[in-house]
């Protein structure tokens, strides 16, 4: 009896309850009302795989990265298994800084038959590569170069190749290559 009183006294001095030794936590319970303000909620995150998640702005839209290349540019691959090849950019994905280059990084996909009696297919497609693995390329002088920006006398801001000084931007703007690409896709679909 005296031992039990001594035990209770020592527990009181440690500010422990007797029930804390029977499987209950000694730490205070976590309050679910705590909110983390540094992480924006992004509705896109739940639909993507962990490695495909997109960085989001506070309004839950994906962050679009600025890129040194545009649709219609001629580029040279500087890294990867297609290193040294030259091609034209057909598509750009700004949320993850990837581009699709014509006849570069061609992958094979084995498709199952959709209906019974119909044979399966093996299709080839151009997979995207990261924009840091390409450099702008000059067809006239056969040289790859970094891109620079300058303002012309008429006030237009244009891109140029640093090594050659050649202006890369077209005078008619970039709407024409984009429209041509859409027309080609529609023609392939029909």
Main-chain dihedrals φ then ψ at residue 8, nearest 5 degrees:
-65, -40
Secondary element (H or E) of residue 182: helix 175-189
Given this model, what pLDDT does residue 39 score? 53
In the chain, where the domains are located: 74-189
Mean pLDDT by 10 residues, the chain (190 residues): 66 55 51 50 56 74 87 95 96 92 95 90 95 94 94 90 89 60 72
What is 74-189's CATH number, 3.40.50.1370, 1.10.3720.10, 2.30.30.30, 3.40.50.720?
2.30.30.30
CB 167 within 8 A of CB 154: no
The predicted structure's pLDDT at residue 128 = 96
Q: Which tokens is 122 given?
A: 């093996």
Record the pTM. 0.61
């Amino acid at each position: 009896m005296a031992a039990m009183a001594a035990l209770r006294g020592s527990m009181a001095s440690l500010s422990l309850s007797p029930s804390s030794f029977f499987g209950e936590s000694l730490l205070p319970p976590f309050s679910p009302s705590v909110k983390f303000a540094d992480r924006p909620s992004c509705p896109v995150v739940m639909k993507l795989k962990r490695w495909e998640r997109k960085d989001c702005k506070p309004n839950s839209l994906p962050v679009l990265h600025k890129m040194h290349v545009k649709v219609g540019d001629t580029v040279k691959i500087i890294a990867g298994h297609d290193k040294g090849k030259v091609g034209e950019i057909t598509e750009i994905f700004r949320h993850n800084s990837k581009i699709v280059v014509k006849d570069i990084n061609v992958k094979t996909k084995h498709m199952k038959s959709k209906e019974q009696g119909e044979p399966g297919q093996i299709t080839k497609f151009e997979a995207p590569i990261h924009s840091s693995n390409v450099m702008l390329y000059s067809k006239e002088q056969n040289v790859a170069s970094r891109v620079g920006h300058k303002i012309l006398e008429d006030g237009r801001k244009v891109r140029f190749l640093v090594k050659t000084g050649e202006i890369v931007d077209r005078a008619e703007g970039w709407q024409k290559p984009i429209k041509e690409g859409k027309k080609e896709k529609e023609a392939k679909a029909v």
